[in-house]
Amino acid sequence: MVIWVTGAKGQLGQCLQQIAKTQKTKFVWTSSSELPLTDEERIVQFIEQQQIKVCINTSAYTAVDAAENDVYQSFLLNCCVPNLLARICKQHGVRLIHCSTDFVFDGYANTPLQETHTTTPGSIYGQSKRRGEELLLQTYPEAIVVRTSWLYSLVGKNFLTTMRRLGRERSEIGVVYDQIGTPTCAPDLAQVLLIMAQRADMNGGIYHYSNEGAVSWYDFAVAIMKLESLQCTVKPILTKDYPTPAKRPAYSVLDKSKIKAALGIVIPHWQDSLEKCIRETIDSE
């Protein structure tokens, strides 16, 4: 079985590459320069030549604030590309696993969100990802969409790497405490995506995956500073005092019952995964 992973240079793509090193399965990795996912002819040629059986699509337009002024690119990459992949994968009998986001929700819920919960994205990024989910599943109902939230790792630019940098540079920072969600350690998600890739019996549709628990960005930042022993004071601030071009959901905790039942997995609590992620770096430094 050959597994193709798109977005190889992205955060999740790099975490998948780390984990794949320990597996016997054959993987092929592509970045946008090697294989632009807007080029149908090249994708078809690639799938046929490489004899791809599973595609994990981690590629996306992920610049949430920039998307507000870049509607075309956002919809091209988050909506048209997933739909194109769905059509090609279906025609070639390739199982497709696609990543999506908690930003498809408006944030007005106050209990964990199931896959069937109404979606009303408040940003262009969220709208483009939601439309991408819809088109992909219309085109290829057997495809799998994994919605995740607050992805972090030691790779690239994400909340953990930003807090580590700011914690060293500043004595005080303000972080919002009125947005509640769940961090997802990218290597944890990568493990689950690889389990899904091996499970041909999985039903198509949407699945939620994040770590367990619920927390504000403020509490998440405090936990990072503490685990990193950084002497930076984190002050709780309101979203209205930290305006951003794109609106974020105030509450986006995902209910993971469906994926846990389908795969028989136990999901680590966000604090345990964060501690593990940070300890591993400290040990390797």
Ligand X SMILES: NC(=O)c1ccc[n+]([C@@H]2O[C@H](COP(=O)([O-])OP(=O)(O)OC[C@H]3O[C@@H](n4cnc5c(N)ncnc54)[C@H](OP(=O)(O)O)[C@@H]3O)[C@@H](O)[C@H]2O)c1
Site for ligand X (CB under 6 A): which residue of 3, 4, 6, 251?
A: 6
| Nearer CB in complex with ligand X: 41/283 | 41
Q: How many residues bind ligand X (CB under 6 A)?
A: 27
Tell the smallest beta-carbon distance from residue 178 to ligand X (Å): 19
Indicate which residues carry an active-site annotation.
125
DSSP state of 239: G
| Nearer CB in complex with ligand X: 148/273 | 148
Q: What angle do the packed helices 186-198 and 11-20 form, to 10 degrees?
A: 60
| Nearer CB in complex with ligand X: 22/33 | 33
DSSP state of 142: T
Strand partners, 208: 147
How many other β-carbons are positioned within 10 Å of the β-carbon of residue 91?
A: 11
Angle at 203 between CA 185 and CA 45, to 5 degrees: 80
Give the contact letters, 25-64, x = binds to ligand X (CB under 6 A), - = no: ------xxx--xxx-------------------xxx-x--
Q: In the block, which residue shows the tokens 């400290």? A: 282
| Nearer CB in complex with ligand X: 157/233 | 157
C-alpha torsion sign, points 125, 130, 136, 142: positive
Which of the ranges 4-12, 111-119, 219-227, 268-276 carries the binding residues for ligand X, by CB under 6 A? 4-12
Task: Report the distance separating Cα 176 and Cα 60, nearest Å.
Answer: 26
Tell the smallest beta-carbon distance from residue 74 to ligand X (Å): 10
Tell the smallest beta-carbon distance from residue 231 to ligand X (Å): 27
Tell the smallest beta-carbon distance from residue 172 to ligand X (Å): 25
Instruction: Tell me: does residue 79 bind ligand X (CB under 6 A).
Output: no
Cβ pair 185, 211 in contact under 8 A:
yes
Considering only residues 138 through 157, tell me which ones interact with ligand X, judged by CB under 6 A.
148-151, 156
DSSP track, 66-106: GGGG-HHHHHIIIIIHHHHHHHHHHHTT-EEEEEEEGGGS-
| Residues at the interface with ligand X (CB under 6 A) | 6-7, 9-13, 31-33, 36-38, 58-60, 62, 77, 99, 101, 129, 148-151, 156, 158
